Structure 1
Amino acid sequence: MVRYVLREDQWKRLKALLPGKDSDPGRSAYDNRLFLEAVLWKVRVGAPWRDLPEEFGAWNSVFKRFRRWAQNGVFERIFNALSDDPDFEYAMIDATIVRVHQHGTGPKGGLTIRPSGARAAA
């Protein structure tokens, strides 16, 4: 059993913004709420995709769907529609809660300033 983060009233507002509804062309989405809960879990915990609990489905399928939605601007639409609602402030993603992997922080000792080629030639 998955413990939901979104309340029913919040989910009803979000449901209309998500792709894969019966009225949309193409294949309808399997379970948008479960997928959105998986994304919120990932953001809250900060764990790698591979550590996604099995209740949310196969991690690779969830990741691929996340990439499609990100490329198609779905999360931007959700953010724009809900950013003025204070009840959703805990569910919004910003850079203050997303940690960089240790290999993405740069070289050991920090950045060094190197002179440009023009200065070295002079």
Structure 2
Amino acid sequence: MGRYDLSETEWRMIAPLLPNKPRGVARVDDRKVVNGIFYVLRTGSPWRDLPERYGPYTTVYNRYNRWAKAGVWLRVFETLAAASPQSMQLIDSSIIRAHQHAAGGKKGVRITIGRSREGLSTKIHAVVDQDGLPVRLLLSAGQASDMAAVPNLLAGLPTPRTVVADRGYDSNAVLELIARSGAQPNIPSCSRRIVRRSVDPAIYRQRNLIERFFCRLKQFRRVATRFDKLARNFLAAVLLASIRIWTKAYESTP
């Protein structure tokens, strides 16, 4: 077993969530292919440098690409995330530098890549729960506003007791959106506020959970730097890294 391969426990979680094999059509073993995908995502290696033990790199890449297009990785992620009670939701974003390979190509390919202080970049927006596990992931161009992503980040999620975010999310629209859902916003006031709101310091300290999530996410080198031209394929990398974070959490639960 390779260093980044799925354990038996992890594979038992993921296998039932993958598409069924069509009758009469043989395909390369799913576990071998998924392990190959995780090898590339974790190491940042080019697809063509995939070790032979995972099979032809074209097979592994094509499965990754085809299932990204079909929404398979999103469904696996959402199934695992559905187990979260989400008593608390923490929101934040992180800038990801885009490699020159991602920034090239035909017009219209650079979806969700923009210019920020980091240069050409993409922004990952995330919601994590009270255990620091991801429950919603979105992409935007690097210069996009964090606050603009909040409605889509929270739409359809269970209503938590508290939504925690830093002062970059302090706007009347965000506060009203959270309050209308029935949750309590725990967001510090920005400097332009004349009347400051109080926040619970103990709850606000929990923000380190989402900061730690992004640190774990960026251990996957193909997430820490964007190499994919297509937004759906980069989002697939983010989803797969998050799936691995979930399976590791399940595996470590007594």
Q: 1:99 to 1:66 in 2, by over 3 A?
A: farther
* Structure with the bigger percentage of strand: 2
What does residue range 88-103 of structure 1 map to in structure 2 within 5 Å? 100-103=98-101
Could you tell me how far apart the structure 2 residues matched to 1:30 and 1:49 are?
A: 16
Could you tell me how far apart the structure 2 residues matched to 1:37 and 1:79 are?
A: 16
Q: CA deviation at 1:27?
A: 2.6
2:34·2:60 contact (CA, 8 Å) conserved in 1?
no
Partner secondary structure for residue 45 of structure 2: coil
1:10-45: CA deviation from partner (whole Å, max 9, x where unpaired): 211211111134xx5563543111111111111111
Percent of counterpart pairs with the same letter? 41
Q: 1:33 to 1:99 in 2, by over 3 A?
A: farther
Q: 1:7 to 1:85 in 2, by over 3 A?
A: farther
RMSD: 3.2
Could you tell me how far apart the structure 2 residues matched to 1:73 and 1:65 are?
A: 12
Amino acid at match of 1:58: P
Q: TM-score, normalised by structure 1?
A: 0.62
In structure 2, the residue matched to 1:68 is 66
Could you tell me how far apart the structure 2 residues matched to 1:106 and 1:13 are?
A: 36
In structure 2, the residue matched to 1:31 is 29
2:4·2:38 contact (CA, 8 Å) conserved in 1?
no
What does residue range 13-28 of structure 1 map to in structure 2 within 5 Å? 13-21=13-21, 25=23, 27=25
Could you tell me how far apart the structure 1 residues matched to 2:97 and 2:5 are?
A: 21
1:38-97: CA deviation from partner (whole Å, max 9, x where unpaired): 1111111112111111111111121111111111111011111123679xxxxxxxx96x
Q: TM-score, normalised by structure 2?
A: 0.33
Amino acid at match of 1:59: Y
Amino acid at match of 2:51: P
1:42·1:49 contact (CA, 8 Å) conserved in 2?
yes
Gaps of 5+ in 2: 85-92, 104-112, 121-254
Post-superposition, which runs of at least 4 consecutive aligned residues in structure 1 deviate over 4 A?
none
Gaps of 5+ in 1: 87-94, 112-122
